[in-house]
Chain A
Amino acid sequence: MDEMQFTPSPEMSIGVELELQLVQPHDLDLARDAAALLARLEKSKLPGAVKPEITESMIELNSSVHASHATLAAELATMRDAVVREAGMLNLRVSGGGAHPFHSWSDRRIFPTERFKHVLERYGYLAKQFTVFGQHIHVGCPGGDEAVYLVHMMTRYVPHFIALSAASPFYQGEDTSFQSCRLTAVNAFPLAGHMPFVADWGEFLEYFETLRGFGVVESMKDFYWDIRPKPDYGTIEIRVCDTPLDVAKAARLAAYAQALAAWLLEERPRAPERAVYLVNSFNRFEAARYGLRGALIDPFAGRKKSLAEDILDAIAEAMPQAERLGSAPELAALAADVRAFASDADWLRAQRGPAGALGDVVRKAAERWSAPA
C-alpha cells in the first residue's frame, strides 16, 4: 500500500518532466544513443534528474520541486545546457517537439530495462510507436481528497494544455493536419483516458484495489490518463502536453497549471461535475486537431465557444493567483501567444519551406531547443 499512501507536498509546488528527442546530425533521423548520453550525464553534477524512456531515442529531464516559476525556469535552462553540451560530445542533437517528423517506428529499439521490456511484450508495436515526446506537469497537493478534486476540475482545462503546447504536426513523413498528433499515439493504450468520477481519495483507493484485484493494473504507472494523481509524489500530473520547442515555454506552461490549481483549490469555484467527462473527448479532439483555433464546449455554461477565448478567460481568472505566485508576466506571455494564434506546431510547419524537406524542420527545431534563451 506504500505507493498509494498520499504524501502531502508543499502547497502549489511545481515540477516538470520533459521527454526529449535525440537526433543524429547526418540524416536528422532519431539516434539510438540514449544510454551513452545518460552515462556521460551521470558524471556531471546536475540539478534534477535525467532518465531513460521507452526507446533508445529518448531521454527524460526531471526537474526538482519548485515553489515558483523563476527557479524552475532557471533549473531547466541549466539542465538544457548540460544535456546539449554532452550530446555535442557524442555528435548528437537534442530537440523538443511532440513527435519526430519522419522517423520510422519500426527502427526504434526499446531501452533495455525490465519495465520497458515488459511494456514491449504487453503492448507490441504500440510500445515502439510510443516514441513520442511529452511534457508532464506536477502540481503539489496537500492531500488525496484535494488531488481528486483537482483532477476533476483540471480536466475541464485539458484542451488548454493540449492547444498551448501543441508541437507535433508531422508524423511518419506526412503533415497530419493535426496540431498535436502525439495524443493519438497515447489514445491507443487500453488504460488511456481519464480517472473515473470518484468522490474522494477513499473511493479512488477502492477503485484502484478493485482493478488491482482483477490483475488489470499493478501500480499507478499503468494508467495512461490525461491527468492522474501521483500519491507517492503528493501531486497531480498533467500529461497531455507535447514537449515545447524551448524550455521557456515548458516553464510557462507549468506556471499556468500552478496558477489555475491555486485558483481552483483556494476559491473552490464549483463542485466537480460528471458533465466535464461527457464533453471531454470532443474538446480534446478539437484541441489536438485545430489547436488554438479549435472550439470548446463549456460543460458548466452548456455552450460552445472558441478555445482561444476560453483560454483568455481562464488566464484572466487565474491572474490574481499568478501575481501572488510571481508568474503574472508568464501568463501574460501565454495570453499574447493565444491572441496571435502563435503555436509551436505552426512554427514547425513554417520551417518546412517550399520544397517540403522535413529534415529542415528537425534541424531548426534542434537549433531552437539548444539556443540559450
Chain B
Amino acid sequence: MDLSFLPQLPPVFGQTFLVGALLLAGLLGGELARRALGLPRIVGYALAGMLLGPQVSGVLGPGALGNARVLIDLSLGLIVFELGHRLDFQWLRRNRWLFAAAIAESAFSFGAICATLLAFGFAPLLAASAAAIGTATSPAVVLLVAHELRSAGQVTERMLLFTAVNSVFAYVALTLLLPFLHLEHAAAWSLAVLHPAYLLGASVLAGAAASFVLLVLARWVGKREDRQFILLIALVVLAVGAARNLNLSVVVTLLTLGLLARNLDRRHVLLPLRFGYGGQLFFVILFVLTGASLDFSALPAAAAAVAAFIAARFLGKALALLAFGWLSGLRPSGAGLLSVALLPMSGMAVVMVLDTAALYPEFGGELAAVVLSAVAVLEILGPIATQFALKRAGEADPAAAGG
C-alpha cells in the first residue's frame, strides 16, 4: 500500500503555522489574563509565550525563536516608529524644562543602577553597560497599554516622550561604552572609534533618508488614508530590512524615521497615524515571542541583585521626576505616577544583552543573568504598573479600562 501522499510523521510545521499559533496563543492568553485576573492583555501575551517557550513546554524551541527575529524586528520597528511620530519638537521648544526633565530621568536611572551594581561588586565597565541597558523603558509596553486603555492626558503624553528619550539615551550610552569594551579587548583604536560612529551615524542617516522618501511620496499620494497606510507600512518594513542588512540599530533607525516624518512635515502631508487592527497583529506576536524568551532560571540565585537593580532603577526615575517634573508643569502626584508608568523594561534589553555578550563574553555571565532576570520580572509587573498609573491619573477611558 502506497502511503507516500501522507506527510512524514510526526508532521513538521513551518513558519506560517508558527505565526498562526503565536497569534492564537496570544489572543487566548490576553483574554484570559483580562477576564480572569483583570490584568493588561500584554501580560497574558507574555505568559502565553512563556508557556510555549523553552523554559516551560518547549513548543517554541531556540531555533524557532531565532527564525522569528524578523518578526520581532518588524514589530519593534512599527512600535518605535509610532513612538517617534508622537514626539513634537515644538513641545520641547515651548517647554524647555521638559527636555531637561527627560534627560534627568535617563541620567538618574542610569546613575542609580550603575551605583547599585558597583556596590554588588561588578566591574565599572560592566556595571555601566548594564545600567545603560536598564535605563530604557519599553516602548512597546507603554504604547500598547496606552492604546488598550485609550489613555490621553499629561501623564500619558510625558510617558511616551520620556520613553523615547530614555530609549535613545540607553542606546547612545551603550554605543559610547563600546570603544572601552573594544579597547579592553585590545582591539585597534580605529575599530573602537569607527564601530560606534557607524552604528549611530548610519542608523540616523538611514532613518533620515527613509523619512525624506516617506514625505515626498506622501505628498505625491495625497491625503488618502488607505494609500498612506500602505506607504507607511512599506517604508517601515523597508527601513527595518535595511537596518538589519546594514548591521544598524533597528530602534535608532526607526525612531529617527518617526521623529523626522513628524517634525520635518512642514506642509503637513502626513495624516495622523492609525495602524488599527493590522498593527495589533504585530504587537501580539512581539509579546508572545518576548514572553517565550523570558528567562527566570537565574532569578533565585541573583534575587538580591535583581531586586536592588529594579529598586534603584525606579528610585532614579522617581527622584528625577520629583525634582524636575514640577518645572515642566507636572503636579507632584503626576510625577509619582509617571515614574510608576515608566517601570516596564524594554524587551530590547534582551537583544542588547546578547549583542554585548557576543562582543564581550565576560558580560554574559552573572551580570547578564541579573539584567535578563530583571527584564523577565518587569515584563510581568511592568504592564500592570503602567496600567495602574494611567488609571490612577484618571487618563484611561473608563469604558476601555473597565471592559
Instruction: Tell me if A336 counts as interface (CB < 8 A to partner B).
Output: no
Instruction: Tell me if B91 counts as interface (CB < 8 A to partner A).
Output: yes
In whole angstroms, how far apart are the Cα atoms of A11 and B397 in the complex? Answer: 48
State which of B154, B223, B272 has its C-beta within 8 Å of the C-beta of A36: B154
Instruction: Tell me if B148 counts as interface (CB < 8 A to partner A).
Output: no
The reply to whether A26 and B395 contact each other, CB–CB distance below 8 Å, is no
Do A355 and B224 contact each other (CB < 8 Å), given the known contacts A25-B90, A88-B94, A88-B95? yes
The interface residues of chain B lying within 8 Å CB-to-CB of A359 are 268, 271-272
State which of B85, B94, B150, B331 has its C-beta within 8 Å of the C-beta of A39: B331
The reply to whether B271 and A357 contact each other, CB–CB distance below 8 Å, is yes
Instruction: Tell me if A121 counts as interface (CB < 8 A to partner B).
Output: no
Do A107 and B153 contact each other (CB < 8 Å), given the known contacts A26-B88, A363-B268? no
In whole angstroms, how far apart are the Cα atoms of A88 and B88 in the complex? Answer: 11
Interface hit among A27-35, A133-141, A266-274: A27-35
In whole angstroms, how far apart are the Cα atoms of A146 and B74 in the complex? Answer: 72
Instruction: Tell me if A188 counts as interface (CB < 8 A to partner B).
Output: no
CB distance from B114 to the nearest CB of A (A): 31
How many residues on chain A are close to B (CB under 8 Å)? 25
The reply to whether A91 and B152 contact each other, CB–CB distance below 8 Å, is no
Contact string against A for B residues 297-340, beta-carbon threshold 8 Å, 1 for contact and 0 otherwise: 00000000000000000000000000000001101000000000
The interface residues of chain A lying within 8 Å CB-to-CB of B94 are 85, 88-89, 91
CB distance from B113 to the nearest CB of A (A): 29
CB distance from A88 to the nearest CB of B (A): 4
In whole angstroms, how far apart are the Cα atoms of A359 and B265 in the complex? Answer: 14
Instruction: Tell me if A90 counts as interface (CB < 8 A to partner B).
Output: yes
CB distance from B162 to the nearest CB of A (A): 13
The reply to whether A90 and B152 contact each other, CB–CB distance below 8 Å, is no
Contact string against B for A residues 94-116, beta-carbon threshold 8 Å, 1 for contact and 0 otherwise: 00000000000001010000000
CB distance from B133 to the nearest CB of A (A): 29
Do A90 and B154 contact each other (CB < 8 Å), given the known contacts A25-B90, A355-B222? yes
State which of B85, B152, B328 has its C-beta within 8 Å of the C-beta of A32: B152
The reply to whether B268 and A25 contact each other, CB–CB distance below 8 Å, is no
8 A Cβ contacts from A229-260 to B: none
Instruction: Tell me if A326 counts as interface (CB < 8 A to partner B).
Output: no
Chain B, Cβ-Cβ closest to A87: B94
CB distance from B224 to the nearest CB of A (A): 7
Do A31 and B271 contact each other (CB < 8 Å), given the known contacts A26-B88, A40-B329, A90-B329? no
The reply to whether B152 and A24 contact each other, CB–CB distance below 8 Å, is yes
Do A89 and B153 contact each other (CB < 8 Å), given the known contacts A26-B86, A360-B268? no
Contact string against A for B residues 199-230, beta-carbon threshold 8 Å, 1 for contact and 0 otherwise: 00000000000000000000000111000000
Instruction: Tell me if B31 counts as interface (CB < 8 A to partner A).
Output: no
The reply to whether A32 and B86 contact each other, CB–CB distance below 8 Å, is no
The interface residues of chain A lying within 8 Å CB-to-CB of B86 are 26
Report whether over half of chain A's contact residues are helix, strand or loop; otherwise say mixed: loop
The reply to whether B223 and A91 contact each other, CB–CB distance below 8 Å, is no
CB distance from B299 to the nearest CB of A (A): 38
The reply to whether A107 and B397 contact each other, CB–CB distance below 8 Å, is yes
8 A Cβ contacts from B233-288 to A: 268, 271-273
In whole angstroms, how far apart are the Cα atoms of A28 and B274 in the complex? Answer: 13
Do A25 and B331 contact each other (CB < 8 Å), given the known contacts A31-B152, A32-B395, A355-B223? no
The interface residues of chain A lying within 8 Å CB-to-CB of B153 are 31-33, 36
The interface residues of chain A lying within 8 Å CB-to-CB of B154 are 33, 36, 90
CB distance from A194 to the nearest CB of B (A): 37
CB distance from B3 to the nearest CB of A (A): 59
The reply to whether B331 and A357 contact each other, CB–CB distance below 8 Å, is no
State which of A28, A32, A39, A40 has its C-beta within 8 Å of the C-beta of B272: A28
Among the interface residues B86, B222, B223, B273, which one has the most CB atoms of the partner chain A within 10 A?
Answer: B223
In whole angstroms, how far apart are the Cα atoms of A55 and B191 in the complex? Answer: 59
In whole angstroms, how far apart are the Cα atoms of A356 and B397 in the complex? Answer: 29
The interface residues of chain A lying within 8 Å CB-to-CB of B91 are 25, 88, 91
In whole angstroms, how far apart are the Cα atoms of A135 and B272 in the complex? Answer: 30
Do A27 and B272 contact each other (CB < 8 Å), given the known contacts A36-B154, A356-B223? yes
CB distance from B51 to the nearest CB of A (A): 36
In whole angstroms, how far apart are the Cα atoms of A28 and B90 in the complex? Answer: 15
CB distance from B165 to the nearest CB of A (A): 14
Chain A, Cβ-Cβ closest to B98: A89
Do A89 and B329 contact each other (CB < 8 Å), given the known contacts A26-B88, A355-B224? yes
Among the interface residues B88, B95, B152, B328, which one has the most CB atoms of the partner chain A within 10 A?
Answer: B152
In whole angstroms, how far apart are the Cα atoms of A28 and B271 in the complex? Answer: 10
The reply to whether B272 and A353 contact each other, CB–CB distance below 8 Å, is no
8 A Cβ contacts from A19-60 to B: 24-28, 31-33, 36, 39-40
Q: Can you identify 5 A-B contacts, CB atoms within 8 angstroms?
A: A88-B91, A89-B328, A89-B329, A91-B157, A109-B398
**Could you list which residues of chain B lie within 8 angstroms of chain A, going by C-beta atoms?**
85-86, 88, 90-91, 94-95, 150, 152-154, 157, 222-224, 268, 271-273, 328-329, 331, 395, 397-398
Known contacts A26-B86, A89-B329, A90-B95; 19 additional CB pairs below 8 A are: A24-B157, A27-B273, A31-B152, A31-B153, A32-B152, A32-B153, A33-B152, A33-B154, A36-B153, A36-B331, A40-B329, A85-B94, A88-B95, A89-B94, A91-B91, A107-B397, A355-B222, A357-B223, A360-B223
**Could you list which residues of chain A lie within 8 angstroms of chain B, going by C-beta atoms?**
24-28, 31-33, 36, 39-40, 85, 88-91, 107, 109, 353, 355-357, 359-360, 363
